[in-house]
Structure 1
Amino acid sequence: MAGLIDKAKNFVVDKVANVEKPEASLDDLDLKDMSCDAITYSGKVSVKNPYSTSIPICQISYKFKCAGREITSGTVPDPGSLKGNETTKLEVPMKVPHSVLMSLVKDIGADWDIDYELELGLTVDLPLIGNFTIPLSKKGQIKLPTLSDLFTK
């Protein structure tokens, strides 16, 4: 009897492990807004839903690192849902105070840009499986705004 239960358990585990899951990619990171106290960056995420029904997104968590240091982190709660059999575009806003960017001045150098790494966790609620987090990361360079950029907006 125990052998039959183990076989049934393994069968279910194998089927759940092979269930098709949404796929996501981190497409871009752009400067969204500048104010006197902060710069807001926007991460662009594309998520492909393989199911015919929509899937709710529980949250998007992020860590934004520059020059090896975390400069901001947070979550975007309840950003909507993924449409069935489509690719949904999501935006993840990240507000970075100027004081934090100014602490990176030594790392910026003469070219006025900094290396960044953005880590995202897209948590969706899959039927039968429950909450499933899709990890994403992207590395690149951010061109920082100059003083004239701040005063012309």
Structure 2
Amino acid sequence: MASSGTYEVVERHVKDKDHKKDEDKGGFIEKVKDFIHDIGEKIEEAIGFGKPTADVAAVHIPHINLDKADIVVDVLIKNPNPVPIPLIDINYLIESDGRKLVSGLIPDAGTIHAHGEETVKIPVNLVYDDIKNTYDDIKPGSIVPYRIKVDLIVDVPVFGRLTLPLEKTGEIPIPYKPDIDLEKIKFRRFSFEETVAVLHLKVENKNDFDLGLNSLDYEVWLSDVSIGGAELSNSTKIDKNGISYIDIPITFRPKDFGSALWDMIRGKGTGYTLKGHINADTPFGAMNLPISREGGTTRLKKNKEDGGDDDDDDEE
């Protein structure tokens, strides 16, 4: 029994000794960790590492037409660190009322210089057919609200990989081409070799935003025969969902297009086609919108002193 008691004392002593060794080992590792952490903080304080900042500086629409809008998002990134930091990925999303319009990823987006700042441009292509085919309630001519969400993923010494989330809201148009009618043609000078006339156009803006008309180019056909075209510089404002009237001059040779002119002179309507483009300023930037009218009917505008009616209207 005595030997048994001695054995128990020895065993307990060994266990206590092993436990103390484990405690010493654990304490040493913790001290090393604390030391490394302290060294890291000292280096960070001495060298001046910090988290980069970013902001959406601007949103541009450099090009817009009936098919798509090219959007450029300018993101200003500031790097306070003494070393360059890589911009690993850029994730972006454009949504309207919580519905995704377009999203994408730009990998390996560059490097931000030490103690510097960079404006990173994020190009986004917004195709209107994709939007209209997905959301029936988004109609041509309307203005829709948008929210741009951008996640910048950077790799910073000491801090590691960071995600910088950004947001910006605004509005974007879904443009619709203006409706155009050739209401009347009035002759200024007539001869078979050269005739000068004025085309009286009715232009209807079917958009929920104003159009500041700067110029218009066009070509006109009477009874499928081209009588010519031109480009007109004319500053006119067409209010949203409004109507404006424009007079444009044209010069042509009547002998080149047969009986169409004689039908007009006799008071008969003649078929016409008009195609061209309108260059206009809008709240969202410049737009070059097509105009076209096919299958319309117009007639000669006669002077009252010649016994004619000065208010002949376009016939459909």
CA distance in 2, matches of 1:27, 1:108: 30
Letter in 1 for 2:166: L
Deviation at 1:34, TM superposition (A): 3.5
1:1-153 correspondence to structure 2 within 5 Å: 1=24, 2=26, 5=29, 8=33, 12=37, 15=41, 20-34=50-64, 37-102=67-132, 104=135, 106=137, 112-147=142-177, 148=278, 149-151=287-289
List runs of 5+ in structure 1 lacking aligned partners.
Answer: none
Q: How many aligned residue pairs are there? A: 149
Deviation at 1:131, TM superposition (A): 2.1
Identity of aligned residues (%): 24
User: Using a 3 Å threshold, how does the CA distance of structure 1 residues 4 and 118 change in structure 2: closer, same or farther?
Assistant: farther
Q: Which has the larger Rg?
A: 2
Q: What CA deviation, in whole Å up to 9, does each residue of 1:23-53 have, x standing for no partner?
A: 0001222213346643221111001110122
Letter in 1 for 2:69: I
Q: Is the 8 A contact 2:65 2:175 kept in 1?
A: no
CA distance in 2, matches of 1:145, 1:107: 11
CA distance in 1, matches of 2:159, 2:57: 27
Q: Is the 8 A contact 1:108 1:114 kept in 2?
A: no
Letter in 2 for 1:55: I
Q: Is the 8 A contact 2:74 2:119 kept in 1?
A: yes
Q: What CA deviation, in whole Å up to 9, does each residue of 1:85-111 have, x standing for no partner?
A: 12210111111111134355735798x
CA distance in 2, matches of 1:52, 1:74: 31
Q: Which of structures 1 and 2 has the larger relative contact order (alpha carbons within 8 angstroms, sep 6+)?
A: 1
TM normalised by structure 1 equals 0.77
Q: Is the 8 A contact 1:47 1:82 kept in 2?
A: yes
List runs of 5+ in structure 2 lacking aligned partners.
Answer: 1-23, 178-277, 279-286, 291-316
